[in-house]
Amino acid sequence: MSSNTLVLLACLAVAVVLFLGLANMMRGGSANVSQKLMRLRVLLQFVAILVIMGVVWWRSA
């Protein structure tokens, strides 16, 4: 799997969870679900940043 694909997958995962959270909020869904999605989004953002930093480091080495 190429590094570009890893970065794309990490960013897409964040976007999917973000849109799921927005959809839940727009339809007046459970606040508990919104909190879980927000926590998952923050975790996925952290993972995405690690992936991006790892790719930058790998390409510079």
In order along its 61 residues, the chain shows pLDDT tens digits of 788 999 999 999 999 999 999 999 999 999 999 999 999 999 999 999 999 999 999 999 8
* Per-residue model confidence (pLDDT) at position 2: 87
pTM, two decimals, is 0.88
Q: Do 53 and 9 meet the contact criterion of CB atoms below 8 Å apart?
A: no
